[in-house]
């Protein structure tokens, strides 16, 4: 597929607990970095539309959130829409922005995401974290998000022999990567022993298998491919994208050891991009729990079904490996500000492919093709996008 859309700028707030900043101010941080990242400059009035992904920011602003974000950064009057697909909200906001450009309607569009999770009490946060699974049955069984991924992990371990150690290896790798990411929520390395021995959250997943709750915002600038060079000499092109949906409840799905929504999304994205899984040089995948990253390796075709545990164990997803995965630290260590995660992944791939990551030690070598994999809920939605330089 000939690329019709390019990414020419990207910004991301610091992820973590932002006691002093609201979602508006976090979005402003991302927006300012985005504007500054446009090599040849951008006049804000050139922006036609803003697509914002958000789950609900803890109920702070459920309505008209996108217009609020736009007006706060000086863009009143633009076409502004909020996209909600749980944890994949801004992965989908990005694709909606692509579609808007591909339709010919708009030339220059912002896709972004925001979430404020840490303003809400721990009680309310538990309410919020449970909103994207199946409410009628899973919630009434006392299920939690960690529980859903734990039940997948348990079966994955049963069917394929995936080990407890392999789960923890994902956490260790992503913490190691986040150590080099100044914008990550956790910038500390952890040992395998520490990861293995952390308190159980939902058997077989322990605390270090789980991503944190995070405040954060991210935003990327997309434009029609033909005008990309006006903004920068090194645009990153959207080579292909795909989305998928599935039954919300795990009990309704064909399988719980794979996310069918992600398989569908990946198949479509590869087809459109005209590449094979092994062509990917660097990937940001949705590791809300360590098992999710192992399943992602398989769903994305980085390895055979059931071989995800070996893929991490053999170091194939490390910085030096075959396909470095989550060099940003991933959701696990960079943080997971739900609605901001998808375009946060694009921010990382944009910088990796342009060789502009903040700390050179985290820069992948000779990468030309990047991929983002953003999953909503426990796999009810998924968006996969392939990028190339």
Partner 1 sequence: MAYVSVPLYKRTIPQRYGLVGLRCKKCGWINFPPKGVCKNCKESLDFEKVKLSGKGTIYSYTVISAAAAPPEFSKQEKYGGTYVVALVDLDEGPRIVAQLTDCKPGEVKIGMRVKAVLRRIYEDEGVIRYGFKFKPQEEDLNG
Q: Which residues lie near partner 1 (CB under 8 A)?
A: 59, 123, 126-128, 130-144, 146-147, 150-152, 154-155, 158, 199-205, 249-252, 256
**Nearest distance from C-beta of residue 199 to partner 1, angstroms:** 7
Q: Hey, which residues does 248 pair with through a beta bridge?
A: none
Options 87, 210, 211, 288, the catalytic residue = 87
336 is catalytic: yes
**What's the token pair of residue 274?**
């005209």
**Nearest distance from C-beta of residue 207 to partner 1, angstroms:** 9
Please say whether the beta carbons of 364 and 282 come within 8 A: yes
User: In 3D, which of 381, 336, 51, 23 has the Cα closest to residue 222?
Assistant: 51
Give the nearer residue to partner 1 in terms of CB position, either 148 or 386. 148
**Nearest distance from C-beta of residue 143 to partner 1, angstroms:** 5
**Nearest distance from C-beta of residue 137 to partner 1, angstroms:** 5
Please say whether the beta carbons of 359 and 180 come within 8 A: yes
Could you give the CA distance from residue 14 to residue 335 in angstroms, rounded to a whole number?
A: 10
Q: 205-206 and 236-245: which strand pairing?
A: unpaired
Options 156, 175, 286, 336, the catalytic residue = 336
Say which residues have a Cβ less than 8 Å from residue 127's Cβ, sequence separation at least 6: none
Give the nearer residue to partner 1 in terms of CB position, either 1 or 127. 127
Could you give the CA distance from residue 261 to residue 249 in angstroms, rounded to a whole number?
A: 13
Could you give the CA distance from residue 267 to residue 60 in angstroms, rounded to a whole number?
A: 37
Please say whether the beta carbons of 260 and 31 come within 8 A: no
Give the nearer residue to partner 1 in terms of CB position, either 66 or 154. 154
**What φ, ψ does residue 82 adopt, rounded to 5°?**
-95, 135
Residue 323 Cα distances to 148, 306, 312, angstroms: 27, 17, 11
Give the nearer residue to partner 1 in terms of CB position, either 254 or 366. 254
**Nearest distance from C-beta of residue 250 to partner 1, angstroms:** 6
**What's the token pair of residue 144?**
């939690």
Please say whether the beta carbons of 274 and 1 come within 8 A: yes
Give the nearer residue to partner 1 in terms of CB position, either 125 or 227. 125
**What φ, ψ does residue 3 adopt, rounded to 5°?**
-70, 130
User: In 3D, which of 172, 173, 163, 162 has the Cα closest to residue 198?
Assistant: 172
87 is catalytic: yes
**Nearest distance from C-beta of residue 54 to partner 1, angstroms:** 16
Give the nearer residue to partner 1 in terms of CB position, either 32 or 131. 131
Active site residues: 87, 336
């Amino acid at each position: 597929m000939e690329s019709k859309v390019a990414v020419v700028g990207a910004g991301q707030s610091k992820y973590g607990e932002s006691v002093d900043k609201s979602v508006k101010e976090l979005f402003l941080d991302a927006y300012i970095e985005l504007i500054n990242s446009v090599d040849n400059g951008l006049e804000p009035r050139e922006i036609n539309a803003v697509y914002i992904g958000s789950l609900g920011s803890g109920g702070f602003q459920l309505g008209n959130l996108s217009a609020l974000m736009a007006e706060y950064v000086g863009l009143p009057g633009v076409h502004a829409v909020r996209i909600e697909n749980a944890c994949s909200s801004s992965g989908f906001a990005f694709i909606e922005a692509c579609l808007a450009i591909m339709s010919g309607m708009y030339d220059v569009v912002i896709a972004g995401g925001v979430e404020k999770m840490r303003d809400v009490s721990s009680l309310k946060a538990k309410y919020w974290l449970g909103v994207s699974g199946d409410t009628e049955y899973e919630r009434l069984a006392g299920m939690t998000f960690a529980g859903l991924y734990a039940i997948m992990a348990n079966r994955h371990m049963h069917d394929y022999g995936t080990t407890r150690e392999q789960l923890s290896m994902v956490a260790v790798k992503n913490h190691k990567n986040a150590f080099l990411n100044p914008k990550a929520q956790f910038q500390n390395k952890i040992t395998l022993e520490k990861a293995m021995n952390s308190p159980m959250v939902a058997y077989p997943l322990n605390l270090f298998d789980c991503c944190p709750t995070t405040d954060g915002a991210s935003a990327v600038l997309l434009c029609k491919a033909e005008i990309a060079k006006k903004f920068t000499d090194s645009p990153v092109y959207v080579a292909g994208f795909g989305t998928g949906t599935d039954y919300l409840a795990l009990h309704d799905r064909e399988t719980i050891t794979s996310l069918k929504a992600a398989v569908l999304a990946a198949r479509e994205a590869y087809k459109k991009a005209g590449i094979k899984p092994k062509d990917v040089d660097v990937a940001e995948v949705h590791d809300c729990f360590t098992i999710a990253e192992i399943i992602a390796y398989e769903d994305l075709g980085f390895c055979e079904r059931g071989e995800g545990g070996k893929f991490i164990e053999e170091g194939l997803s490390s910085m030096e490996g075959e396909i470095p995965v989550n060099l940003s630290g991933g959701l696990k260590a960079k943080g997971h500000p739900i609605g901001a995660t998808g375009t946060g992944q694009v921010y990382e791939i944009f910088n990796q492919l342009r060789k502009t990551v903040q700390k050179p030690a985290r820069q992948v070598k000779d990468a030309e093709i990047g991929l983002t994999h953003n999953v909503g809920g426990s796999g009810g939605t998924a968006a996969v996008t392939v990028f190339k330089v």
